[in-house]
Amino acid sequence: MTDGPIRVLCINGESDPAETRSFIEMHRLGIDITVMTWPGTVNHDALVAAGVPTIPYVLKWKLSPPCIRFIRAELKRGKYDVLHMLDKRATMNGLMASIGIDVKLVAYRGIIGNIAYWSPQSWLYLLNPRLDRIICVCEAIRQDLLGLGMPGVRLRRDVPVTIHKGHRPELYEGEAEDLKQFGIPDDTFVVACTVRAVPRKGVPVFIEAIGKLPPGLNIHFLMAGTKMDSDLHRKLVAKSPYADNIHLFGFLQRMPWILKNVDVSVLPSLKREGLPRAMLEAMIAGVVPIVTNVGGSPELVVEGESGFVVEPGDAQAIRDRILRLYNDRELLKRMSEAARQRVLTDFTVEKTARETIAVYQDLLGRTDAALSR
């Protein structure tokens, strides 16, 4: 088929703002896109407000006969060209629902790990040979998928493709949050670590790096995120020479606006990182990133220009980069501007949408499907 716009059914759970904006942008560019997603959420309401057709539906299980029947009925009714599945539940139910239906199958991958050729569930998910493409949020994930398996039992090399997830800076417009509410005074150098503090995020390495800094610096540390204020972290902080300057919190609302008053953000991940949203939000705010050489984190940063990349577990290297930026405010200013520009240029929603459409066109042989607007 070569006539008319490409028809796409996207299935997602509670999509994040970046995914929602990508759907809206593809709709604006002329793709006939329908999004099956959770009702009653901010992102669902944004899709409706933008005129994107939606199907309110909650996928409760990874494999659910009622969900499979519901998706299958919609695929038959809508005569879609592409089924784009954006999380595990969507992919597993969508793959079952699409059996015997002429539709291209596209999945999404945003993290490294938890996929194995010996796992039956993986074969019902990203290792399913019926998948035509897997859109990977960073090149590191693509390479990880290609490296799975053994000779003769691997994904085809054309299945995983890399498309960085873009962001819209205007989503974060507005006044900065006053850091005094978190116990951080004005006129101090602020370093943040804002992550969901599971072990692989390496939070103890960051606390160790703080302890290596010379005494007496006018510096404060904002550490926030789910599980960040755990007993383990509190015990480690209590032993730090900068204990009085370390401010521990759980999950905080309005983090993008909090970051506007932060100088440096550290992501000390040890393994399995995707394309970290926390660092994209920080860079949009002009915060200089220090990331580890894990997963997609290095893909965000031009080393020495828009941030720093260090090896995982290297507390001394994190300490050295923080101290360098503390002592050289001109360097801090240049890198702050470069970090923000990096996102504005290379990690845009428009770029993500156009590259995703190019995947659809390639699968369908639709060079005629020019972007209409």
Domain segments of the chain as ranges: 7-168+348-364, 170-346
Domains 7-168+348-364 and 170-346 share a fold: yes
Structure-token pair, residue 262: 């932060």
Name the CA dihedral angle for 94, 2, 367, 95, rounded to a multiple of 10 degrees. Answer: 10
**For residue range 61-96, what is the model confidence (pLDDT) as tens digits?**
889 999 999 999 999 999 999 999 999 999 999 999
Nearest in space to 259 (alpha carbons), one of 244, 279, 243: 279
| CATH of region 170-346 | 3.40.50.2000
pLDDT confidence of residue 13: 79
d(CA 211, CA 205): 10
Listed range (6-10, 112-116, 305-309, 318-322) with the worst mean pLDDT:
112-116
pLDDT confidence of residue 283: 96
* 365 has a pLDDT exceeding 90: yes
How far lies 12's CA from each of 23, 336, 359, 365, in Å? 11, 34, 18, 25
pTM for the model: 0.92
pLDDT confidence of residue 335: 98
CATH architecture of 7-168+348-364: 3-Layer(aba) Sandwich (3.40)
pLDDT confidence of residue 368: 59
Per residue, the 3-state secondary structure of the chain, as one string, reads CCCCCCEEEEECCCCCHHHHHHHHHHHHCCCEEEEEECCCCHHHHHHHHCCCCEEECCCCCCCCHHHHHHHHHHHHHHCCCEEEECCHHHHHHHHHHCCCCCCEEEEEECCCCCCCCCCHHHHCCCCCCCCCEEEECCHHHHHHHHHCCECCECCCCCCEEECCCCECHHHHCCCCCCHHHHCCCCCCEEEEEECCCCHHHCHHHHHHHHHCCCCCCCEEEEEECCCCCCHHHHHHHHCCCCHHHEEEECCCCCHHHHHHHCCEEEECCCCCCCCCHHHHHHHHCCCEEEEECCCCHHHHCCECCCEEEECCCCHHHHHHHHHHHHHCHHHHHHHHHHHHHHHHHHCEHHHHHHHHHHHHHHHHCCCCCCCCC
pLDDT confidence of residue 370: 47
* 296 has a pLDDT exceeding 90: yes
